[in-house]
């Protein structure tokens, strides 16, 4: 498939109630393992990619190195790849657009793009984040690639679970604004209460992505809430490292 074909196919996989399941990978080796196992699409996790190379999360792995890893994955597997691009390694829209052009050049067809201020405090205001998403969409359009922008809000990750119900209206306001700016999906990591996820899915016009954590264990049960995408974040990498270290400790 061409890059455009991959992007179009990836978007078609987002179906409410029949979500695409993305078991996050971190390098070309883990990507090939899942592709060979039958994965229809692949997604990196920023924490995992960084940790696998000895870096901390939060754009501490250099942009050039992160792009090189994305390129190696695309060169190794034929399935669509979406990259956890954190905050895009830039604050201003112009620099962000340039970074997106470089990412598209690797062959990636999608990104996670978060609204927290990486290396700073809190979240970007809605208007500022809208300008950033718009810059990404314009850069992708200019490149001729229908890049899937999975707009992530960190509202729930930044708050305690007993505050989540009161944040749903704010999250939906962001979903609407991000959609109008050109986003293709809405990611709500940290939200694990099924009734609140169902509420978001019922109102949001974008396909909703949840991260399996906390009490979220069953793909079938989460699918019934109306989500269109399920991801696992750093869980797969942590599990792989645990298996590795346990095996080493068991050597007699």
Q: What is the CATH number of the domain that holds 127?
A: 3.20.20.60
Strand partners, 110: 82, 148
Q: Is the pLDDT of residue 237 over 90?
A: yes
Domain count, the chain: 1
* Burial classification of residue 145, based on how many CB atoms lie within 10 Å of its CB (0-12 exposed, 13-18 middle, 19 or more buried): buried
Q: What is the pTM of this model?
A: 0.97
Residues in Cβ contact with 113 at an 8 Å cutoff, skipping those fewer than 6 apart = 85, 86, 87, 88, 132, 133, 136, 149, 150, 151, 152, 183
pLDDT at 23: 98
Task: Report CA Rg, the chain.
Answer: 17
DSSP secondary structure letter of residue 32: H
Condensed to tens digits (0 to 9), the pLDDT of residues 170-188 reads 999 999 999 999 999 999 9
Condensed to tens digits (0 to 9), the pLDDT of residues 117-131 reads 999 999 999 999 999
Condensed to tens digits (0 to 9), the pLDDT of residues 207-225 reads 999 999 999 999 999 999 9
pLDDT at 128: 98
**Whole domain around residue 232: which residue ranges?**
3-249
- 3-class secondary-structure state, position 208: strand
Condensed to tens digits (0 to 9), the pLDDT of residues 90-110 reads 999 999 999 999 999 999 999
**Per-residue confidence at 112, pLDDT binned at 50, 70, 90?**
very high
**Per-residue confidence at 59, pLDDT binned at 50, 70, 90?**
very high
Q: Which of 10-14, 143-147, 248-252 has the lowest mean pLDDT?
A: 248-252
Q: Is the pLDDT of residue 252 over 80?
A: no
Condensed to tens digits (0 to 9), the pLDDT of residues 128-170 reads 999 999 999 999 999 999 999 999 999 999 999 999 999 999 9
DSSP secondary structure letter of residue 206: S
């Amino acid at each position: 498939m061409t890059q455009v074909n991959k992007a179009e196919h990836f978007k078609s996989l987002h179906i409410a109630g029949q979500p695409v399941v993305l078991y996050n990978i971190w390098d070309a080796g883990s990507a090939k393992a899942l592709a060979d196992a039958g994965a229809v699409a692949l997604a990196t996790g920023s924490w995992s990619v960084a940790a696998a190379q000895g870096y901390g999360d939060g754009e501490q792995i250099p942009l050039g190195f992160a792009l090189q890893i994305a390129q190696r994955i695309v060169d190794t597997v034929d399935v669509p790849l979406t990259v956890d691009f954190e905050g895009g390694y830039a604050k201003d829209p112009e620099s962000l657009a340039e970074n997106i052009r470089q990412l598209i050049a690797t062959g990636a067809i999608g990104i996670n793009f978060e609204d927290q201020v990486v290396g700073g405090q809190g979240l970007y205001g809605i208007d500022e984040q809208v300008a950033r998403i718009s810059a990404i969409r314009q850069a992708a359009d200019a490149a001729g690639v229908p890049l899937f922008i999975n707009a992530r809000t960190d509202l729930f990750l930044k708050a305690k679970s007993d505050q989540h119900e009161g944040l749903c209206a704010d999250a939906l306001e962001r979903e609407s604004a991000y959609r109008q700016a050109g986003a293709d999906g809405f990611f709500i990591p940290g939200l694990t209460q099924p009734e609140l996820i169902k509420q978001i899915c019922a109102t949001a016009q974008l396909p909703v992505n949840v991260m399996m954590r906390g009490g979220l264990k069953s793909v079938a049960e989460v699918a019934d809430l109306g989500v269109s995408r399920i991801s696992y974040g750093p869980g797969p990498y942590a599990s792989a490292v645990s298996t590795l270290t346990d095996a080493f400790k068991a050597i007699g």
